[in-house]
Structure 1
């Protein structure tokens, strides 16, 4: 069994937090110059709108069928 840094429950939380922090710093650092439309928040927002539109179309199809 590999050694634990803090505890078995806290190590995964620390790992996820570190990953999110590293990704945030990567996206916001001026050297990386990630375009605003290619950032994670914008991509998630686009995907959410796409999902909502698909869901509404399915609901309309179900309403039209009844």
Structure 2
């Protein structure tokens, strides 16, 4: 009698749900743009790259 492996192999083809997630939801991009414009418009907020965040964090940790 053959045994069945409990591990199922995944298909190389992504599912429809994964394809929809990868495509994004383009009709919401205008809301994201509006939100970012609003947030960035405040003096208390600014954008940083990942490298800038790392530099800032490193500097803050040396102050402790």
Instruction: Normalising by structure 2, report the TM-score.
Output: 0.32
Instruction: Normalising by structure 1, report the TM-score.
Output: 0.32
